[in-house]
Amino acid sequence: MGSRTTTVALYGIVGLLLANLVVVLSRGDSGSMLPAAIAQRQGPIAGGAGLFVMPAQLSGNQWGCYLMDVDRGTLCVYQFLPGASQLKLVAARNFANDTRLLNMNTAPSPQEIGDLVNKQNQAVRGAGAPAAAGNPSRDNTSEK
C-alpha cells in the first residue's frame, strides 16, 4: 500500500510541474520574471584554436572587445572609436606569470585559512562533531 501512495504522490507532483510549465510558457513576457542581472544579455564568446574574442562595455558608453590568446598567454583590449570609425588597441598584457601567483591582495591569507581549518578539525576531534546547519546530529544512545 505504501508504494501505491508514493506512486500517486509522484504523479501528482509531475502534474503540478506540468501545470506550472504551461503557465510559464503561456506568458508572453517571460523575460520580465528574471532579475535584471540575469535578464541582461551577455555578449557571446567566439573563438577557437586558442584565440578568443569577447565584446565588452569598457565604460558607460565606450565599447570594444577583449582578445585572448591562450597559447601565448596574452590578453588585449580594443576600444571602438565611433567618431573615427576605428578600433584602437588600448591595453595588452602577458598573463603567463599572473597565473603563477598563489596569493596577492587577498584576505585572509591561505595560511590563515589553513590555521582555521586545523583549529576546526581539532575541535571536532576533541568535542565530537558539531551539528551542521539543517542536519542535526543524532543521539546514538536513544536508538536501541
| Paired strand residues for 92 | 76
At 7 the pLDDT is: 82
- Asked whether residue 140 carries a pLDDT value surpassing 70, the answer given is no
At 64 the pLDDT is: 94
DSSP structure class, residue 135: B
CA separation for the pair 26, 38 (Å, rounded):
21
Q: Locate 102 and state its grid cell.
A: 598563489
Q: Locate 119 and state its grid cell.
A: 583549529
CA separation for the pair 65, 45 (Å, rounded):
10
> Which is more confidently placed, 69 or 15?
69
CA separation for the pair 57, 79 (Å, rounded):
9
- Asked whether residue 86 carries a pLDDT value surpassing 50, the answer given is yes
Residue with cell 598573463: 95
CA separation for the pair 51, 139 (Å, rounded):
58
- Asked whether residue 91 carries a pLDDT value surpassing 90, the answer given is yes
Could you tell me if 73 and 94 are in contact, meaning their C-beta atoms sit under 8 angstroms apart?
A: yes
CA separation for the pair 63, 55 (Å, rounded):
8
pTM above 0.85, yes or no: no
At 125 the pLDDT is: 82
Q: Where are the domains of the chain?
A: 43-100
- Asked whether residue 71 carries a pLDDT value surpassing 80, the answer given is yes
CA separation for the pair 91, 78 (Å, rounded):
7
- What are the pLDDT digits (tens) for 5-53? 888 777 778 777 777 777 777 765 545 555 555 555 655 667 778 899 9
